A and B are shown apart, each in its own frame.
Chain A
Amino acid sequence: MNRKLIAAAGIAGIAALVLAGCSAATPAETGPVTITYSNFISNGGNEDNLAKIVAAFEKANPDITVKVTTLPYDSYGTALQTDLAAGTEADVFDINGPSAYGPLQTNGVLAALDGVDGSVYNTALLDSYATGGVQYGLPTSFSDVVLYYNKDLFDAAGVSYPTADWTWADETAAAQKLTDAAAGVWGDHQPVSYNEYYKVLVQNGETFLNADGTKVAFNTPGGIEAAHWLVDKSGTTMPTIDQGQGTADFDTNLFKDGKLAMLHTGIWVFGSFADTPANWDIAVEPGNTAVANAVFSNAVGVSANSKHHDAAQKWAEFLSSSDDEVNVRLDSGWELPTIADTAKLNTYLDKGKPANRQAVFDAAKNIAPAPSIGDAQSEMQDIITGELIEAQAGRETVEQALDNAETKINALLAG
Chain B
Amino acid sequence: MSVSTAQTSLVDRALPTIATPPRGRSRAVRTRYALTVLAFLLPSAIPLALFVLGPMIAALWVSLNKWNLLAPMKFIGLDNYAKLLTDPGTGEVFLHTVYYIVGYLPLVYIGGLGLALALNTALKGRSLLRGVYFLPVVTSWIVVALVWRWLLSPSSGVVNTVLGFFGIAGPGWWTDPTWAMPSIILASAWKDLGFVMIILLAGLQAISPDMYDAAKIDGAGWWRRLFSITLPLLSPSTFFVLVISLINGFQVFDQVYAMTGGGPNGASEVVVEQIYDLTFRYGKAGEASALSWMLFIVILAVTVIQVRGQRRWVTYG
Contact = CB atoms under 8 A, between A and B. Distances in A.
B36 A7 contact: yes
Contact of A393 (B71, B264, B282): B264
Contacts of B40: 10
Interface in A291-346: none
Interface stretch (B2-10, B118-126, B153-161): B153-161
Interface in A206-265: 241-244
Contacts of B264: 386, 389-390, 393
A395 B35 contact: no
Contacts of B282: 375-376, 378-379
Given A3-B36, A4-B32, A241-B172, A103 B68 contact: yes
B39 A108 contact: no
B43 interface: yes
B42 A107 contact: no
B38 interface: yes
Interface residues of B, number: 32
Which of B38, B155, B175 has the largest count of A CB atoms less than 10 A from its CB? B175
Given A7-B32, A85-B70, A108-B71, A14 B153 contact: no
Given A8-B35, A82-B280, A103-B283, A18 B46 contact: yes
A382 B266 CA distance: 10
Nearest to A9: B39
A4 B35 contact: yes
B281 interface: yes
Interface in A83-122: 84-85, 103-104, 106-109
Contact of B70 (A104, A241, A378, A390): A104
A190 B75 CA distance: 45
B41 to A, nearest CB: 10
Contacts of A389: 263-265
A242 B282 CA distance: 29
B136 interface: no
A387 B47 CA distance: 44
Interface in A1-41: 3-4, 6-8, 10-11, 14, 18
B280 A78 contact: yes
Nearest to A378: B281
A262 B35 CA distance: 75
A393 to B, nearest CB: 7
A230 to B, nearest CB: 16
Closest 6 CB pairs of A and B: A107-B70, A10-B39, A242-B154, A375-B283, A85-B69, A7-B35
Given A3-B36, A7-B32, A7-B38, 17 more contacts: A4-B32, A7-B39, A10-B39, A10-B40, A10-B43, A14-B42, A14-B43, A81-B69, A82-B69, A82-B280, A84-B70, A109-B70, A241-B172, A243-B154, A378-B283, A382-B277, A395-B177
Interface of A: 3-4, 6-8, 10-11, 14, 18, 77-78, 81-82, 84-85, 103-104, 106-109, 241-244, 375-376, 378-379, 382, 386-387, 389-390, 393, 395
